[in-house]
Amino acid sequence: MNLLDMVREAGIVGAGGAGFPTHAKLASKAEYILLNGAECEPLLRVDQQLMELFADEIINGFTAAGKFVGANKAIIGIKGKHKKVISILRDRIEALQVADFVQVKEIPDIYPAGDEQVLVHELTGRVVPEAGIPIQVGCVVLNSETALNIYYASIQKPVTQKYITVAGDVPRSLTVKVPVGTPIIDVLKLSGIENFDNYKVIDGGPMMGPVMNSLDGYVTKKNKGFVILKKDHYLIRKKSVSLEQAKRVNKSACAQCRMCTDLCPRYLLGHEMQPHKIMRALNYKLTDIENQKIAQLCCQCNLCELFSCPAGLHPKSANLYFKDKLAQQNIRYKPNKSEFTARKSREYRLIPSKRLIARLGLNNFDKPAPMTEIELKPELVYISTNQHVGVPAVPIVSVGDHVEIGQQIGKIPEGSLGASVHASISGKVVEIENDFIGIRRG
């Protein structure tokens, strides 16, 4: 079995949150392989700790993936502020004798440094074309937890566990490894909060993560963190505004000051994304489809909505409105050129994470979330067959079957994009329904 087959068998998906099947990424040939260790979402602390605790495994997984795609260079991108981790990585790269291939490059502490396109630019100077992906400029990007999982795949260990940070307005911020399929509420309670009546939870980072409507879900391979805040926190109120409400507010007050555009990371990379134009189209009911199409260039980093707009408006939501409308009509933005260069003003307009954290009202909660040895042992896990980009995995077990931890229980349908799923505990299959496989420990 080659590495790609091992990665496919192990059910690895991008651990950065998007859930793109990793074997599909490794199927391309690339000049660069890049490790995304930016972890730019405030309060999340998974990647920086994994790179410190599992430096050898991550470097080995990353190197193997880089060799597999035929890369000339492998670059680990990590914020310069993580001095200890950088020093460990550099030492281990030397010790593992891969320094002629792998290097560590420090990136600035800005948001969104972990956006794939921003990372590609920071590490290679190249700009991914509008509506494009990194491979178009010869790059494959992997998250650090994904590289760790690639290493495990190479020793026949599939993905059955997930590292998660629990942070926010909580007695105890922490990072923990839990079985995929664990009830989310069990993970949240590790924060020291038992009753969530006065709290809301953001699934993921404070910038891009949505506020959860219910805490009844189960951990998937895509989860990276949960941020718990009081219901009346600014961020919760702002993120809870519906698209309809956002549309109404947007119509009333946009001064066309352009701040949203001037600070937009995609605009600064030389793309046409200009949220103030989308606001104009919304407010004046402009029908020019060409102008509306630029909404499809938005990566939903939320900077315009949560930081840039002085009037507290919702330009990202305006983008979402047009994105949705155009998708219904099957209209796609087509770039009118293939090469892009970052705008000259970019270097003066990068947003330091510290300023962002202050603006979000998260200063008090910006603290370490140390990796713990806590072992959650859920009696029942519900493993989603649909926790990745592509089509759901097809169950290959039946109710009543006994399964062992690590056993494949769902596979990728023939000829489709997807990821297989594995039992995260040993026990009996008790339910197969609604894209979930339930396993009771025992």
User: Site residues (CB under 6 A) for ligand SF4?
Assistant: 254-260, 264-266, 273, 275-276, 279, 298-304, 308-309, 311, 313, 315-316, 319
Q: Closest separation between CB of residue 238 and ligand SF4, Å?
A: 13
DSSP 298: -
Alpha helices by DSSP H, listed for 78-232, are 83-95, 116-124, 144-154, 184-189
Cβ nearer to ligand SF4, comparing 51 with 298: 298
Q: How many C-beta atoms surround the C-beta of residue 240 within 10 A? A: 13
Nearer to ligand SF4 (CB atom), residue 73 or residue 276: 276
Distances (CA, A) of 401 to 109, 380, 421, 422: 49, 15, 16, 14
Residue 311 vs 389, nearer CB to ligand SF4: 311
Residues in the chain: 442
Could you check whether the bond before residue 112 is cis, i.e. omega within 30 degrees of 0? yes
Q: Considering the complex, what minimum distance in angstroms separates the CB of residue 112 from ligand SF4? A: 8
Backbone angles phi, psi at 167, to 5 degrees: -145, -175
The nearer residue to ligand SF4, 223 or 296, going by C-beta atoms, is: 296
What are the structure tokens assigned to 112, written together?
A: 């969104």
Q: Are 411 and 397 in contact (CB under 8 A)?
A: no
Least CB distance to ligand SF4 at residue 267 (A):
6
The structure tokens listed for 51 are 């790179």
Are the beta carbons of 316 and 343 closer than 8 angstroms?
no
How far apart are CB 354 and ligand SF4 at their closest, in Å?
Answer: 19
Whole-number Å distance between alpha carbons of 319 and 417: 27
State whether residue 122 is helix, strand or coil. helix
- Nearest residue (CB) to ligand SF4, 78 versus 313: 313
CA–chain centroid gap for 262, Å, is 24
What is the edge-to-edge ordering of all strands in the sheet holding 380-384? Answer: 380-384, 436-441, 427-433, 402-403
The pair of structure tokens assigned to 110 is 């800005």
CB atoms within 10 A of CB 262: 18
Smallest separation, CB 375 to ligand SF4 (Å): 38
User: By C-beta, is 153 or 279 nearer to ligand SF4?
Assistant: 279
Please check whether residue 218 is in contact with residue 182, taking contact to mean a CB–CB distance below 8 angstroms.
Answer: yes
Q: In the complex, what is the shortest distance from the CB of residue 363 to ligand SF4, in angstroms, rounded to a whole number?
A: 22
CB of 183 to ligand SF4, least distance (A): 32
Rounded least distance, CB 410 to ligand SF4, Å? 34
CB nearer to ligand SF4: give 93 or 235. 235
| Residue 276 C-beta: closest distance to ligand SF4, Å | 4
Closer residue to ligand SF4 in complex, CB, 258/359 = 258
Q: Toward ligand SF4, which CB reaches closer, 318 or 383?
A: 318
